[in-house]
Chains A and B, each alone.
Chain A
Amino acid sequence: MSVTSASASTVAAGTVLDLPAAARSDTAAGALAAAPPPLAAEAITVRYGRRTAVDAVSLTLSEGTVYALLGRNGAGKSSLLRCLLGQQRAAAGRALLFGRDAWRHRAALMARVGVVPEQSDAPPRATARQLARFCRPLYHHWDGGAFEGRLRRFGVPADLPFGRLSKGQQGHVALALALAARPRLLILDDPTLGLDAVARRAFFEELIGELADRGTTVLLATHDLAAVERIADRAGILADGRLLLDEEVEGLKLRFRRIWLAAAAAAPATALDAFAPLAARETVTGDWGVETVVTAYDDERFRAFQGSAAGAGAQVTSLTLEEIFIALTGAGADQLESAGAGGPR
């Protein structure tokens, strides 16, 4: 990279956090004048034969975002991630990392990207320390001290073969390796899959520390919605290769609510009509009453509904990210039970 953009001036990265000056200047120095987003998918399409696995998916991560990529198995997450990592060529569209095509500039870009794969391909006989020695020359800003420090905090022995570590320890080593390169972008593919609660907690605490210290941009594909809900500021849901939703977690939680109306209160048909202005997604009717998930909840409208004859006694509860995910991807009512959502029918 040339030095001509040294005048780069105003990069806003890191101003929100009370980041140490070192982290700020590190971010600023690497950014070009117009600072392209760390990650952008532009209408990425992936096909396997006649099957479309990823269908024109576009999304952008601005600097410092923690983006949760959610989707059921087979939704297209892995294919999309491979394109973003430059490991797979999209049938159409492009993956841009820091404004450069991931497929064409993979080698150069990967020096600035930390990756924690779902299944580590580390040689099972190598120790964590040997892995670090192997990775070190591939990166510009390797921090060996931070690597050792993380292993200590995780309680992972540095001199035990990788293949003999527990699943949780392997995940911790993978994260420690990824963070040692001081990446500006971190891509994690279901990193806590199969980890127990304690190992998961340690993993996320370390990730949170990294966010606080360096304001790293993160793309996190995961099924661990309870953890992600606290960390992610934006979420995307993939279903059948399409991006169903791409928005701030905070807004998502504001607009999705479950509304419940006891059977005695109203005839189901009336209740259905009454829910309509709140954009009911799916209404389940049973002997016990009517329940629905609305996607455009609004306090005022709900109070009005409660005040009407049809809605007297209506109750509203908020949804966790997991419940929202299930409401959106659990598909038809026939799958509600297996997805664990909804009440008895």
Chain B
Amino acid sequence: MKAAFAIDPSDPRPIWRQIEENVRNLVAGGALRPSTSMPSVRELARGLAVNPATVAKAYQRLTDAGILAVRRGDGTYVASAPPALSAAQLHERLRAEALRYASFAATLGATVQQAATALESAWRAFDAGGGAPDQAAAPPGDPV
């Protein structure tokens, strides 16, 4: 199976967390719609070339968080009503990503103002492009 995201070995986050956050983002962004069938642990592990136990851990955490749901004998699905992020979670995730962006901008020698301007114009371009990043990523587990 072809996954809609890839694992980055130079990313300091553990692989299970990368999988977890990628799936969260795909669900939050609408690319993975409620009740969509997810690839099995085995399929996704092979697709990403990672240990199945790692995928299982990510799936377990996503299930515990109510983002995925397991139907007995019928695999894993996106929950029919995945919970929205709490304000605290939203803040925390924005903060983490902002830190990465900020350190990247600093490496280039950009000023805070330049970085902020670039962010704003990227945001506007994204808004003009039609909102949700549906077109950006094909959902995994497409019909075969």
Contacts and interface: CB of A to CB of B under 8 A. Distances in A.
Interface size class of A (residues with CB under 8 A): 20 to 34
B64 interface: no
B73 to A, nearest CB: 11
Interface in B30-78: 40-42, 45-46, 48-54, 56-57, 60
Contacts of A66: 51
Given A17-B41, A226-B9, A232 B51 contact: yes
Contacts of B57: 16
Interface residues of B, number: 25
B52 to A, nearest CB: 4
Interface stretch (B11-19, B83-91, B118-126, B130-138): B11-19
Contact of A231 (B51, B56, B60, B106): B51
B15 A230 contact: yes
B111 interface: no
A318 interface: yes
A315 interface: yes
Given A253-B14, A315-B103, A227 B49 contact: yes
A64 B40 CA distance: 19
Interface stretch (A29-37, A47-55, A209-217): A209-217
Interface of A: 16-18, 64, 66, 201, 204-205, 208-209, 211-213, 226-227, 229-233, 250, 253-254, 257, 313, 315, 317-318, 320-321
Given A18-B40, A230-B7, A233-B54, 18 more contacts: A16-B53, A16-B57, A17-B52, A17-B53, A208-B42, A208-B49, A208-B50, A211-B52, A212-B52, A227-B49, A229-B9, A230-B51, A231-B50, A231-B51, A233-B53, A253-B14, A313-B106, A321-B9
